[in-house]
């Protein structure tokens, strides 16, 4: 009780001057500096956030759309959120696709036998039970494939494309099966989309084109892509047998997880923050994106524990099915009026050391969030750059909601992305705490400003 009183006195004094006067950048800093310091202090006090993240990762394993793992994880989170005392805790039903990997293998039959580590790509069709056995054609780009189109017929095309940026290189994962099939390939393979490999295959989503035959599409490791390329360069004929049981079953139900800290003055105006609770079917989906989910969730728990209730509602949303459908994001934007959203914040780049946020919105709003950013300079997370958001808040952003993505030290993110190695041990309790602090300060101040963030 004494502790509660002390809190009330402390924050009451700070909050009192804020009643409904628009604030300029300087005033924002002056008004919220002490609160930001208190939030940062509280966020970095212990390793509770990390232990919660580890438990989420360890208890359920990967949380792929359509699996019991995912739904059990969601049940557990809802239970914990209620125990935390968050408000309006609920799961909102979302119909999600259900792709099942099944057993899969790639064997090199010539010039020598070798079993290749591999992962089929999400949404791919399978092979016949006896597999597809064919010679490989290695190409380094779509351009090279077109130049060598006459050689692709009846072959397994391997796109051996080194990682430059994710955006550039991922095209071979999303479009590879279409382009290879266009020239008569019987299956297509990619070099995993990563700058570093320890014989580590990376899965991810892929597309078909209604006008082009569907062929199986899978990822092999950087090491094996380079091996096959070297063999081909030496004039060796490389033959592979690809077997995949992959298939798509009827849609099934999942849920977006929602919890709130209801606003004290304008409960219908909402700052959304979150990540996606689904993952691929490998590893623990620790950085993609359990960490983002826990950072957002902990940010709101922490505000609640500090007795900080902003003018507007802060809503944590843990979207489902980001990885292979984005159905959670679509359903959320359809169900909740974008006009009531002041800002949407996503963390989906791993909860490594936070550097700031990327912001998409008006110039006027940018000035204000840069001022809020200065409150995070003491922890090195104050850099607000232009552009940014996240896949799950994309549908909101396309309907005018300002969007923001947590920016972190991404040095190793793509080493682990969509692999068995995306596990909680790669993350650091102290860095996660800083992500929590950054999310909490940004969400609180935007939700508490006298006027909504200008569009």
68-84 and 48-60 helices, crossing angle to 10°: 150
Q: Which stretch binds a copy of itself (CB under 8 A): 185-193, 361-369, 380-388, 411-419?
A: 411-419
Please state, in angstroms and rounded to a whole number, the distance separating the CA atoms of residues 248 and 208: 13
Would you say 420 or 428 has its CB closer to a copy of itself? 420
Question: Min. distance of Cβ 76 from a copy of itself in angstroms?
Answer: 13
Q: Give the shortest CB-200-to-a copy of itself separation in angstroms.
A: 5
**CA atoms within a 13 Å half-sphere pointing along the CA-CB vector of 385:** 12
Do 112 and 257 touch, CB atoms closer than 8 A?
A: no
Cα–Cα dist 174/159, whole Å: 12
Binder among 423, 428, 429, 450 for a copy of itself (CB under 8 A):
423
Q: Which residue out of 322, 323, 346, 431 is catalytically annotated?
A: 322
Sign of CA dihedral 286, 291, 293, 294: positive
Residue (194 or 320) nearer to a copy of itself, CB? 194
Closest contact distance (angstroms) between CB of 47 and a copy of itself is 12
132 token code pair: 């597809």
**Chain residues 348-387 in contact with a copy of itself, contact rule CB under 8 A:** none
Q: Is 226 in the site for a copy of itself (CB under 8 A)?
A: yes
Considering the complex, what minimum distance in angstroms separates the CB of residue 425 from a copy of itself?
5
Q: Which residue lies nearer to a copy of itself by CB, 36 or 218?
A: 218
Annotated active-site residue 322? The verdict is yes
Instruction: Select from 304, 416, 438, 440 the one that contacts a copy of itself (CB under 8 A).
Output: 416
Told to check if 117 binds a copy of itself by CB under 8 A, we report yes
Cis peptide before 298 (omega within 30 of 0): no
Q: What is the DSSP letter of 411?
A: T
- List b or e across 398-421, with b for residues whose CB sees 16 or more CB atoms inside 10 angstroms: eeebbbbbbbbeeeebbbbbbbbb
Site for a copy of itself in 229-288 (CB under 8 A): 230-231, 234, 283
Backbone angles phi, psi at 320, to 5 degrees: -100, 155
* 276/321 Cα distance (integer angstroms): 7
**Residue 112 binds to a copy of itself (criterion: CB under 8 A):** yes
The catalytic site residues sit at 322
Positions touching a copy of itself (CB under 8 A) are 54-55, 58-61, 111-112, 114, 117, 197-200, 222-223, 226-227, 230-231, 234, 283, 415-416, 419-421, 423, 425
């Amino acid at each position: 009780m004494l502790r509660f009183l002390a809190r009330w006195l402390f924050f009451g004094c700070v909050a009192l001057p804020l009643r409904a006067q628009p604030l300029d950048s300087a005033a924002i800093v002056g008004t919220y500096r002490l609160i930001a310091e208190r939030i940062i202090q509280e966020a970095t006090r212990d390793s509770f956030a990390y232990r919660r993240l580890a438990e989420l990762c360890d208890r359920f394993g990967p949380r792929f759309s359509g699996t019991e793992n995912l739904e059990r994880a969601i049940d557990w989170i809802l239970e914990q959120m209620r125990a935390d005392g968050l408000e309006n805790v609920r799961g909102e039903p979302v119909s999600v696709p259900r792709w099942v990997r099944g057993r899969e293998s790639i064997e090199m039959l010539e010039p020598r036998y070798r079993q290749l580590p591999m992962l089929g790509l999400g949404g791919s069709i399978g092979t016949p039970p006896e597999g597809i056995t064919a010679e490989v054609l290695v190409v380094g780009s779509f351009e090279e494939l077109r130049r060598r189109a006459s050689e692709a017929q009846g072959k397994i095309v391997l796109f051996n494309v080194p990682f430059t940026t994710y955006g550039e290189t991922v095209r071979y994962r999303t479009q590879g099966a279409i382009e290879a099939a266009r020239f008569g390939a019987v299956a297509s393979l990619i070099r995993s989309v990563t700058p570093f490999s320890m014989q580590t295959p990376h899965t991810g989503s892929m597309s078909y084109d209604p006008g082009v035959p569907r062929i199986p599409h899978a990822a092999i490791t950087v090491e094996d892509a380079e091996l096959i390329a070297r063999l081909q360069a030496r004039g060796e004929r490389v033959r592979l047998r690809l077997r995949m049981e992959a298939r798509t079953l009827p849609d099934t139900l999942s849920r977006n997880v929602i919890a709130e800290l209801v606003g004290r003055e304008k409960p219908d105006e909402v700052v959304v923050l979150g990540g996606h609770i689904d993952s691929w079917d490998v590893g623990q989906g620790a950085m993609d994106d359990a960490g983002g989910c826990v950072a957002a969730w902990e940010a709101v728990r922490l505000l609640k524990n500090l007795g900080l209730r902003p003018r507007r509602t802060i809503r944590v949303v843990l979207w489902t099915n980001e990885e292979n459908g984005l159905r959670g994001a679509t359903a959320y934007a359809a169900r909740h009026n974008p006009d009531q959203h002041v800002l949407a914040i996503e963390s989906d780049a791993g909860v490594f050391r936070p550097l700031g946020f990327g912001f998409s919105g008006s110039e006027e709003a940018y000035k204000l969030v840069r001022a809020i950013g200065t409150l995070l300079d003491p922890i090195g997370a104050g850099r607000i750059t232009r552009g940014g958001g996240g896949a799950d808040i994309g549908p909101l952003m396309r309907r005018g909601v300002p969007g923001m993505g947590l920016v972190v030290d991404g040095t190793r993110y793509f080493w682990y992305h969509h692999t068995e190695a995306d596990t909680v041990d790669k993350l650091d309790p102290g860095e996660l705490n800083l992500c929590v602090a950054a999310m909490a300060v940004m969400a609180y101040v935007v939700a508490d400003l006298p006027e909504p963030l200008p569009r």
